[in-house]
Structure 1
Amino acid sequence: MRFRAKIVDIGCLNHFTRVISTIAKLAKTCTLRLTVEKLYFILSDKVANGGVSMWCELNQGNVFDEYQMEGVAVESNEIYLELTPENLSRALKAAQNAKAVKIKLTNKQCPCLTVVMELPSLSSSSRIVTHDIPVGVIPRKLWNDFKEPTVPDFDVSIYLPVVKTMKSVVERMKNLSNSIVIEANQNGEMNLKIETDLVSVTTHFKELGNPPWESEDGSQGSARDRDSESMAEARIDIKRLLQLLAGQQVNPTKALCNIVSKRIVHFILLHEDVSLQYFIPALA
């Protein structure tokens, strides 16, 4: 089992750092899945038990100048690691002026992701700084616990307003309640609502648009058949929502959410080569 990668391009390094910073704000620990083509960051708390889950993927070819990996076996050429993303985020932030950054899987009393930074110095020779980030190697028999989540059979799918705008609205609302109701319809309308014994506050968004979804037979479909004016809603933990909105270091070019009434809200954020899915279960 081997993994070794190198980043030279400063733009790619900054982009990768922003992705890892976003992951670090969403998960204390996560699973890093390495394949030949992609990197995946997975948080698989059981939604049925009230936990959030996350699935983020990016193409390694758009980040690394060199990339080599050999999995545990020929028939399963993948590596699964348990990782504290904040540790990797700190290491990468220290590398912002680096000439090159190497990341490799090592064994130093325990398995580690070793980040080696070549930093410029006043002398002719470069300074080399090394960070060893402990990781856990997840055995093959547990890999099925980290499968890509399926898109839920949603009632409404809608594009989100500008993430920064939505974040500022939710930040003000969090002082009023621990939960927030998201409701939307197939007519491009979304409402964010706070309802308590003392106060009721609603922010309305219109003309957001509804993404087309392709059905299994290849035809253009949408959410479940329902009146376009009819609202689907779910009450969710407001801190979970703010965590997602506030954690965005990579400004998504496209953001949408799918609502399964009174069950789950599924967010999808897309930015060039990165896609992030985030599932927040509804409160009872």
Structure 2
Amino acid sequence: MKFRSKMIDVGCLNHFTRVVNTIAKLNKTCVLRLTPDNLYFVLSGKVSNGGVSMWCELLQVNFFDEYQIEGVSPDANEICLELAPENISRALKTAQNAKSVKIKLTKKHCPCLTLAADLPSLSSVSRVVTHDIPVDVIPRRMWHDFKEPSMPDFDVSIYLPPLKIMKNVVDRMKNLSNYLVIEANLSGEMNLKIETDLVSVTTHFKDLGNPPWGDDASQSRSRDMEAMAHTRVDIRKLQQFLAGQQVNPSKAMCNIVHKRIVHLILLHEDVSLQYFIPAVA
């Protein structure tokens, strides 16, 4: 089992850093799945137990100048590692001005992802800062838990309003309640609502647009365009998602499975991030 990669382009390094920083804000631990073509950051929470889940996909060729992997076997050319994304985030902070960054799988006192940043130096002697990030290698028999989640059979899909505006709204609502209702319809309308014994607050968004999903478009015509699908969620989980965003997506969408799941999707030209927040009673 071998993995080594190298980044030279500063823009790619900064973009990769923003992605990792976003992942680090969402959870303390996650799984890094490495394949010949892609990297995946995966959080496989059990929605039935109230846990969030996440799937972030990166096309390696858009980030790395060199990338080599030898998986556990020829017929399973991939590696799954459990780690703390915050550790990678901290290591990358020291590498922002690096001439190059190498990341490889090593064996120290335990399995590690070793990140070596070649930093600028005033002398002819190179200055390399190395970080050993502990990881747990996940055995192949457990890989089925870290496959791409299937698209839920949603009732409404809608484009999100600007994430900064949405974050400001949710930050204010969090002071009033622990729970928030997200509702939307097929006419491009979305509402964020909190209701307690003392207060009821609703923020309305209009003209957001509804993504075309191929075959689902014909199904949507048979639905009431004004009917709202809604799901009540833990407001802290939504706030956590919005607070950590550094991906700068070109598209941001929300799929709602009525009273069950809120499925958030961020799309960038070389990154996609899916986040699932289960309903609370």
Interval of TM-score (by shorter of Structure 1 and Structure 2): over 0.9
Deviating above 6 A after TM superposition, structure 1's stretches of 4 or more consecutive aligned residues are: none
**Residue 205 (structure 2) aligns with:** 205
Are 1:64 and 2:61 matched, yes or no? no
Q: 1:232 aligns with which of 219, 229, 234?
A: 229
Output the CA distance in 2 between the equivalents of 1:276 and 1:259: 16
Output the CA distance in 1 between the equivalents of 2:164 and 2:218: 30
**Residue 73 (structure 1) aligns with:** 73
Aligned-partner SS, 1:18: helix
**Residue 2 (structure 1) aligns with:** 2
Are 1:27 and 2:24 matched, yes or no? no
**Residue 182 (structure 1) aligns with:** 182
CA deviations on 1:158-193 (whole Å, 9 max, x unpaired) are 000000110001101100000000000000000000
Q: Map of 1:266-277 to 2, 5 A cutoff?
A: 266-277=263-274
Instruction: Give how far 1:220 is off.
Output: 4.5
Output the CA distance in 2 between the equivalents of 1:11 and 1:175: 38
**Residue 111 (structure 1) aligns with:** 111
- Asked whether the 8 Å contact 1:259–1:265 carries over to 2, the reply is yes
- Asked whether the 8 Å contact 1:155–1:224 carries over to 2, the reply is no
CA shift in 2, pair 1:276/1:221, >3 Å: farther
Are 1:40 and 2:37 matched, yes or no? no
Output the CA distance in 2 between the equivalents of 1:222 and 1:122: 64
Instruction: Give how far 1:281 is off.
Output: 0.3
Letter in 2 for 1:151: M
Output the CA distance in 1 between the equivalents of 2:219 and 2:101: 44
Output the CA distance in 2 between the equivalents of 1:231 and 1:90: 42
Instruction: Give how far 1:278 is off.
Output: 0.2
Instruction: Give how far 1:221 is off.
Output: 3.8
Aligned-partner SS, 1:213: coil
Instruction: Give how far 1:109 is off.
Output: 1.6
CA deviations on 1:123-152 (whole Å, 9 max, x unpaired) are 122201100000000001111111111111
Letter in 1 for 2:214: E
Aligned-partner SS, 1:76: coil
Q: 2:276 aligns with which of 263, 274, 279?
A: 279
User: TM-score w.r.t. structure 1 length?
Assistant: 0.97
* Number of residue equivalences: 281
- Asked whether the 8 Å contact 1:154–1:223 carries over to 2, the reply is no
Q: 1:252 aligns with which of 249, 254, 257?
A: 249
CA deviations on 1:27-64 (whole Å, 9 max, x unpaired) are 11001000000000000010011000000001000000
Letter in 2 for 1:88: I
Output the CA distance in 2 between the equivalents of 1:65 and 1:117: 14
Letter in 2 for 1:238: I
User: What 5-or-longer segments of structure 1 have no aligned partner?
Assistant: none
Aligned-partner SS, 2:15: helix
Instruction: Give how far 1:92 is off.
Output: 0.6
User: TM-score w.r.t. structure 2 length?
Assistant: 0.98
Identity of aligned residues (%): 74
CA deviations on 1:192-228 (whole Å, 9 max, x unpaired) are 001011001100000000001122xxx8545594200
